[in-house]
Chain A
């Protein structure tokens, strides 16, 4: 496979189906000089699902809903990463004042963007079945890890076993987040009702505010400590970038989707 063809395959499938052949021809003609533009285009498309070619506006709204759920999972993981070392953000002076509203905004956003199953037996069964298939594994492994941590606390307290447990914990969080996103991705308009535009706007705005606030607190706390807390700074910066990407989705919604 040539490099330009490999790069084109990194675009979302809906985009490739519509523009793939033409893009491939142009990429071949541009040669290696076109690679940076292709890479930027790939990132651009994955960050803007509202503009992917779609059969209907409902499909666009469903994709934005999936983006909202994914952003929530990413925000939770980053907020957890920000406290991986040192003091929990909520314990720093004034932290509770900001972080509880952040949690509320995150939950509000998730509630607003989450697509709801249609009120029919086949639709509810399909959603529940998919949730069980995708999440049962991480839940069982997580329960086993918690049980092992309690049962063998002394054995796992330090050294190699502790590192192994910690790596397993983070791996499990990431897998769980990916699987939760896969539960809602591509369910289809026959199974779920895509949120209305006002719900999406409010939900994405709420997630944007939550990410920006949490990221700012994590950055401030990470930089203020006597020895800079690198995980908190990196996670805070990533949360601010997430807020920027979500703000761009608000613009996409205004320009492309209307009730």
Chain B
């Protein structure tokens, strides 16, 4: 996965709690400044559910919220640590403050 990967973004915004599709996209827009296309968002949700990294939460009418599973939380943490390590190394090489 990469920082702008749809699956990583979805996992990231679900770390705060269960959300449904539209709310996930709104949270992603707040995080990175642009929304995912509907095909990309729901493709990422289907993949994450197939990998058992997210699961359905309680339904709210038409909306079907999802939440992180423990495996999803672990995968996200692993991914974010890996990204942080790369970011720190890159910033050090550039002479920028990695804070």
Chain A residues engaging chain B, CB cutoff 8 angstroms: 15, 18-19, 21-23, 25-27, 29-30, 33-34, 36-42, 44-45, 50-54, 60, 252, 255-256
Is there an interface contact between B51 and A44, defined as CB atoms closer than 8 Å? Answer: no
Number of A-B contacts (CB under 8 A): 83
**A104 CB, min distance to chain B CBs, angstroms:** 32
Is there an interface contact between B50 and A41, defined as CB atoms closer than 8 Å? Answer: no
Is there an interface contact between B39 and A44, defined as CB atoms closer than 8 Å? Answer: yes
> CB-CB < 8 A to B25: which residues of A?
26
Is there an interface contact between A45 and B38, defined as CB atoms closer than 8 Å? Answer: no
A30-B37, A36-B37, A37-B40 known; A25-B62 Cβ under 8 A: yes
B27-40 interface code vs A (CB 8 A; 1 in, 0 out): 00000000111111
Partner of A22, one of B37, B51, B62: B62
Chain B residues engaging chain A, CB cutoff 8 angstroms: 20-22, 25, 35-43, 45-47, 49-51, 62-64
**Bound-state Cα–Cα, A252 to B25, Å:** 24
> CB-CB < 8 A to A42: which residues of B?
39
Q: From DSSP, what is the main secondary structure of chain A's interface residues?
A: helix
> CB-CB < 8 A to A34: which residues of B?
37-39
Query: Which residue of the partner chain B has the closest CB to A43?
Result: B39
Query: Which residue of the partner chain A has the closest CB to B46?
Result: A51
Is there an interface contact between B46 and A45, defined as CB atoms closer than 8 Å? Answer: yes
Is there an interface contact between A15 and B46, defined as CB atoms closer than 8 Å? Answer: yes
**Bound-state Cα–Cα, A60 to B49, Å:** 13
**A59 CB, min distance to chain B CBs, angstroms:** 11
**Bound-state Cα–Cα, A244 to B1, Å:** 20
Most chain A beta carbons < 10 A, residue from B37, B42, B45, B51: B42
* A-B contact sample (10 more), CB < 8 A, given A23-B42, A41-B40: A18-B64, A26-B22, A26-B38, A37-B37, A38-B39, A40-B40, A41-B42, A45-B43, A45-B46, A52-B46
> CB-CB < 8 A to A44: which residues of B?
39, 43
